[in-house]
Amino acid sequence: MTALQTDPPIMTRNGTDTTAHHHTPLILALPKGRILKALAPVLTRTGIEPDPDCLTESSRRLRFGTSDPNLDVVRVRSFDVATFVAYGGADIGVCGADVLMEFDYPDIYAPLDLGIGGCRICVARPKTMIEDPATGQSRLRVATKYPTIARRHFASRAINAEIVHLNGAMELAPTLDLASVIVDLVDTGSTLRANGLMETETIAHVTSRLIVNRVALKTRPEEISALIERFRTALATEGAV
């Protein structure tokens, strides 16, 4: 019996088999929490329906199929989405502009502002401080999970920021003399007020962005460009009857 003949794989200059991509789903990295909830209707308008467990907080699964057989979703911490995309663990993702500002990954392209998850990066201090501790100072201790953003902001004011790197409970830092001020992501400001803090400066307004791995965009341009356009169309039809 004669063996069936198959077409040889198409190889790139560096020896990569380009046909392999056709059988590998694209990976879309999504953030856990409130952004995922806000993103759900956008995904629906794109025609992407993740497995129901994806939107369930109690689910321990991290990878999910979708209504598109060529697309899988992974659910990770919001601060990690950009890292997954930058290093090629995911081809495309959704993350806040704050994360892009903090890490500034050169391998990430951010084609779309999704306009969801609006908040702001602020400087805050205790209400009991009569004078802004940053006034007239050349050095300031700052508690934050955004060391790059904080240093850059205070450097623009000729202040050397000594960073106390925290990943949570930032509001405690000034009350326990860990730092004079904090730099944090603020939504309503209720947590600041509940802990006796007040906003003194807004560093940046933040919304969620669609991000893409630049290498993936070059190796799978048709698929990724089509996915970007689905999101673009979904944003354009928001609120349409």
> What is the signed CA dihedral for 228, 231, 235, 236, rounded to 10 degrees?
60
Average pLDDT, the chain: 89
Q: What is the pLDDT of residues 197-214, one digit of tens each?
A: 999 999 999 999 999 999
CATH of 119-204, one of 3.40.50.2300, 1.10.1060.10, 3.40.190.10, 3.90.1280.10: 3.40.190.10
The residue with greater pLDDT, 237 or 151, is 151
Closest residue by Cα to residue 41 from 119, 120, 117: 117
Residue limits of CATH 3.40.190.10 in the chain: 18-117+207-236, 119-204
- The predicted model gives 122-145 an average pLDDT of 84
Q: What is the pLDDT of residues 151-200, one digit of tens each?
A: 999 999 999 999 999 999 999 999 999 999 999 999 999 999 999 999 99
Closest residue by Cα to residue 26 from 210, 213, 208, 209: 213
What sign has the CA pseudo-torsion 109, 120, 122, 57? negative
Distances (CA, A) of 195 to 124, 172, 188: 11, 7, 13
> What is the signed CA dihedral for 62, 74, 205, 155, rounded to 10 degrees?
80
- Calpha distance 109→6 (Å, rounded): 37
Would you state the CATH architecture of domain 18-117+207-236? 3-Layer(aba) Sandwich (3.40)
- Calpha distance 164→89 (Å, rounded): 30
- What's 229's DSSP letter? H
What sign has the CA pseudo-torsion 161, 163, 166, 172? negative
Burial 177-216 (b: 16+ CB within 10 A, else e): eebbbbbbbbeeeeebeebebeeebebeebebbbbbbeeb
- Calpha distance 184→233 (Å, rounded): 33
Residue 129: predicted pLDDT: 79
Share of the chain above pLDDT 90, in %: 79
- pTM, 2 dp: 0.84
- The predicted model gives 70-76 an average pLDDT of 97
181 residue type, one letter: V
